[in-house]
Amino acid sequence: MKSAVIVFPGSNRERDMLYALEQIGGQKPLTVWHQETTLPDVDLIVLPGGFSYGDYLRTGAIAGLSPIMKAVKEQADKGVRVLGVCNGFQILTETGILPGALLRNAHLKFVCKEVELEVATNKSVFTSAYSENQVIRCPVAHHDGNYFADEDTLNRLEAEDRVAFRYSQATNPNGSIRNIAGIMNEQKNVLGMMPHPENLIEAAQGGTDGRGIFESALETIA
């Protein structure tokens, strides 16, 4: 499957994402500058981590207004797979592609460490490589990862099986409500998550727990 990574001013994880996609998918991904207005014909669009526009105003707020985001939304509406990691997740909520918001971490500190994630559902194109309720390791690095949504939205996410990942109770690094680490849209072709699976895909990184997301999305499950 073909993939593309969107690059914004202040992105700093696009190289990690490009590496992961090529290593697992077997094809070199394309890069798309945020000022472009069209996207190439790809199967997976990725919004990587970083600090787009220095996180001014709100994390992801300015990047969400970039010309390319109109094309991302159009492709998502057509069913193309979209993965937003960390700052990418923040941008997806700012554009309304995903519900809720990412607030300042509850302890008001930047957090950079490894956490445990529970696979809340494996019935999606992003999580099918895992077992339901499987616990995996994954790195996090953020200052504004505290997921919040109103009760009606949270209940709808739960009822529609759209919570993809939860932090284990003991490792929630930011105070996210209901320990939510990643959610999907109604069609389940868009996933936003704060942890960085691209940084745990091979032994040299200390493990391969993050590979399943890419194997699922790129349909390369052995």
Summarize the confidence of residues 58-66 as an average pLDDT: 96
**Per the residue annotation, which of 86, 94, 116, 215 is the catalytic one?**
86
Average of per-residue pLDDT values in the chain: 96
Higher pLDDT, 161 or 1: 161
Tell whether the torsion through CA atoms of 87, 91, 94 and 98 is positive or negative.
negative
Cα separation, 222 vs 220, in Å, equals 6
Query: Does a structural domain hold residue 156?
Result: yes
**Per the residue annotation, which of 116, 118, 198, 215 is the catalytic one?**
198
Query: Does a structural domain hold residue 165?
Result: yes
Query: Does a structural domain hold residue 28?
Result: yes
Summarize the confidence of residues 75-99 as an average pLDDT: 98
**Residue 119, number of CB atoms within 10 A of its CB:** 21
Query: Does a structural domain hold residue 128?
Result: yes
For the record, the structure tokens of 212 come out as: 């399943």
Q: Report pLDDT digits (tens) over 132-153.
A: 999 999 999 999 999 999 999 9
Cβ-contact 68, 35 below 8 angstroms:
yes
Q: Alpha carbon of 34 to those of 20, 27, 55, 72, 144: distances in Å?
A: 21, 22, 16, 10, 22
86 in active site:
yes
Q: Report pLDDT digits (tens) over 155-214.
A: 999 999 999 999 998 999 999 999 999 999 999 999 999 999 999 999 999 999 999 999
* Residue 70 banded pLDDT, cuts 50, 70, 90: very high
Q: Where are the alpha helices (DSSP H) in 80-210?
A: 87-94, 151-159
142 in active site:
no
| CATH label of the domain that carries residue 106 | 3.40.50.880
Query: Does a structural domain hold residue 172?
Result: yes
Please report the DSSP string for 107-124 in residue order.
Answer: TSS-EEEEEEEEE----S
Q: What is the pLDDT of residue 220?
A: 56
Nearest to 83 by CA among 143, 169, 156, 25: 25
> Does the pLDDT at position 219 exceed 90?
no
Query: Does a structural domain hold residue 68?
Result: yes
How many independent structural domains does the chain possess? Answer: 1
Exposure class string for 209-220: b at 16+ Cβ within 10 A, else e: bbbbbbbbbbee
Query: Does a structural domain hold residue 125?
Result: yes
* Residue 222 banded pLDDT, cuts 50, 70, 90: very low
Q: Residue 82: which domain range?
A: 3-217
74 in active site:
no
**Residue 158, number of CB atoms within 10 A of its CB:** 13
Q: What is the pLDDT of residue 221?
A: 45
**Per the residue annotation, which of 14, 138, 196, 215 is the catalytic one?**
196
Cβ-contact 141, 196 below 8 angstroms:
yes
Q: What is the pLDDT of residue 28?
A: 97
Q: Alpha carbon of 87 to those of 17, 23, 59, 122, 155: distances in Å?
A: 13, 22, 7, 24, 24
Q: What is the pLDDT of residue 1?
A: 85
Query: Does a structural domain hold residue 66?
Result: yes
